[in-house]
Structure 1
């Protein structure tokens, strides 16, 4: 036990001296969540600001007197679009979609024919695209009013058109929070865990092998398991430290949110933080064991970095898997590492209670991955030095 602790202390000191490990761990844990929330906040503010403008940019409004009257009655202002609105929209100078009205619009409506309106905007112009939804909603209301008035003028009772009334009844639980905007946060946290421990795992294996400091360590009377546990323990502590720092960053991140909608959705408290810790700490320990095992087979720092980056690419792919199963998620999700943690973190963000069975399954899977990886590291440790 003393030997294992001595190796652990030595590896922790080396990890703390490695500036690259500390820099990646601090940046990924402290800046990831605040940045993603800040980006979400800005995007939502842009969307809501377009809806609050209550203005319509139009070209050819003189050809649609009825539409003009309807827009003004809804409390919207009408702005004349510049003649070169296409070029200005493409150059991002124009932040609104443009309603294009043809010259024969009123004539077609008067004749009972179908009239067409166009909405012009550049799809790469995000502010203009955000203004599309309120404009479409306004035009749909105008189309419905026009159709209703046309039928009324022909003697058709309006009550016959509304024989069926449809209402929505939301089945959301009273204590459940919306987390539609923050669904990307679990993936960001998982990426921070993997990146935070990756360089520590590489430095303690391939890095020491390049520096020639692994052979002197092996000359001591230590077993493969003692070496494996000591090195894994140091990397696991780094990964767990990243978990704690990332979760702590959730609290000041809420101060950066300037959007009321996002602030209402993202309510992260002490109870949520404890839930995240129970979910993520076992995963951080198992990921550390896997990263050490992968880097141990590499003869250079660069090779180990490339191989561990392949593991990093695995995270977003697994996190997107629920898209393939819309609706109720299959029960086998809770047996898949990373996927089960992503699922449980989303439940925490929504204010739902994570079942003890799901946590127990995730813990057993992580413990099994750690044991298999450590067994491989212990068996491989001396062979690596001799090869």
Structure 2
């Protein structure tokens, strides 16, 4: 035990001295979530600002007086679009879509002919694209009103077209929170875990081997298991530290949210933080063991970095798997590392209760990965140094 503690203390000191490891851990854990929530807040505010703007930019509105009257009755203002609206939309000077009214709009309506309204905007102009939905909703309301008036003038009751009334019935629990906007946060947390501990794992294996400091360590009367436990414990501690910093960065991150809708959806408390720790600490320990095992056979720091980056790419791919299964998620999800943690974190963000069975299965899988990797490291440690 004394040998393991000595190795552990040495590796922790080396990790803290390594600026690359320290800065990566701090940046990935402390800045990732705040930046993500800040971006979400800005984007959502832009969307809602278009909803609240209540202004329609149009070309040729003089050809559609009834449409203009309807828009004004809805509390909107109608403004003439600039003559060079196409260029201004491309250069993002114009932050709204432009309604294009044809010259024969009223004539076609009077004769019961189909007429086309165009909405012009540059697809690279995101603010203008955000204004598309409220404008289309406004035009659909006008289309419905026009159809009802035409039927009424012909003596046909509009209620004949509405014999079936469709209403939504939400089955959401009263205490269940929405997390549609924050569904990317679990992936950000998972990436922080992997990146935060990666450099510590590389430095304690391939880094020491490249510097020639691993051979003198082997000359001490320590077994492969003692070396393995000491080195893995240090890397796992770094990974777990990243987990804790990332999770507790959620609390000050909520101060950055200026959007009321996002603030109402994203409510992260102490209970949620404790649930995240239960979910992520076993994963951090298993990822540390896996990263040490991957870097152990590498003869240079750069080679180990490339191999561990391939492992890091595994997380985004796994996080995209639920897209292929819309609706109810298959039961085998909870048996897949990373995917199970992603699923459970989303449940916490939605305000749902964690399943003890899912948490237990995920923890056992992480423990199995840790033991397999540690066994491999203990057997290979001296062989790698002597080769």
Which interval holds the TM-score relative to the shorter structure?
Answer: over 0.9
Cα distance in structure 1, aligned partners of 2:253 and 2:158: 52
- Offset of 1:166 from its aligned partner? 1.1
Cα distance in structure 1, aligned partners of 2:312 and 2:176: 31
In the other structure, the counterpart of 1:247 is 247
In the other structure, the counterpart of 1:146 is 146
In the other structure, the counterpart of 1:193 is 193
- Offset of 1:267 from its aligned partner? 0.1
Cα distance in structure 2, aligned partners of 1:364 and 1:6: 29
In the other structure, the counterpart of 2:56 is 56
- Aligned pairs for 1:153-164 (under 5 A) are 153-164=153-164
SS in 1 for 2:82: coil
- Aligned pairs for 1:153-232 (under 5 A) are 153-232=153-232
Cα distance in structure 2, aligned partners of 1:220 and 1:151: 95
Cα distance in structure 2, aligned partners of 1:207 and 1:52: 56
- Offset of 1:225 from its aligned partner? 0.6
Cα distance in structure 1, aligned partners of 2:148 and 2:313: 55
In the other structure, the counterpart of 2:349 is 349
Cα distance in structure 2, aligned partners of 1:244 and 1:327: 32
* 1:19-57: CA deviation from partner (whole Å, max 9, x where unpaired): 100000000000000000000000000000000000100
In the other structure, the counterpart of 2:38 is 38
> For structure 1, which segment, 159-168 or 15-24, has the greater mean C-alpha deviation from structure 2 after superposition?
159-168
Cα distance in structure 1, aligned partners of 2:58 and 2:307: 55
Cα distance in structure 1, aligned partners of 2:27 and 2:156: 67
SS in 2 for 1:243: helix
* 1:251-276: CA deviation from partner (whole Å, max 9, x where unpaired): 00000000000000000000000000
Cα distance in structure 1, aligned partners of 2:368 and 2:209: 28
SS in 1 for 2:222: coil
SS in 1 for 2:57: strand
Cα distance in structure 1, aligned partners of 2:150 and 2:297: 77
In the other structure, the counterpart of 2:340 is 340
- Offset of 1:69 from its aligned partner? 0.5
SS in 2 for 1:180: coil
Cα distance in structure 2, aligned partners of 1:137 and 1:312: 43
In the other structure, the counterpart of 1:267 is 267
SS in 1 for 2:221: coil
Q: TM-score, normalised by structure 1?
A: 0.99
- Uncovered stretches (5+) of structure 1, i.e. residues with no partner: none
Cα distance in structure 2, aligned partners of 1:5 and 1:349: 38
- Offset of 1:159 from its aligned partner? 2.2
> For structure 1, which segment, 156-165 or 277-286, has the greater mean C-alpha deviation from structure 2 after superposition?
156-165
Regions of 4+ moved over 4 Å: none
- Aligned pairs for 1:23-172 (under 5 A) are 23-172=23-172
Cα distance in structure 2, aligned partners of 1:122 and 1:76: 23
- Uncovered stretches (5+) of structure 2, i.e. residues with no partner: none
SS in 2 for 1:58: strand
SS in 1 for 2:99: strand
* 1:222-278: CA deviation from partner (whole Å, max 9, x where unpaired): 111111111000000000000000011000000000000000000000000000000
In the other structure, the counterpart of 1:277 is 277
Cα distance in structure 1, aligned partners of 2:275 and 2:281: 10
SS in 2 for 1:183: coil
In the other structure, the counterpart of 1:380 is 380
SS in 2 for 1:57: strand
For the aligned residue pairs, the C-alpha RMSD in angstroms reads 0.5
- Offset of 1:161 from its aligned partner? 2.0
- Offset of 1:165 from its aligned partner? 1.1
Question: What is the total number of aligned residue pairs between the two structures?
Answer: 387
Cα distance in structure 1, aligned partners of 2:37 and 2:240: 22
SS in 1 for 2:156: coil
* 1:298-356: CA deviation from partner (whole Å, max 9, x where unpaired): 00000000000011111011011000000000000000000000000000000000011
* 1:96-132: CA deviation from partner (whole Å, max 9, x where unpaired): 0000001001110011100100000000000000000
Cα distance in structure 1, aligned partners of 2:151 and 2:312: 61
Cα distance in structure 2, aligned partners of 1:158 and 1:53: 32
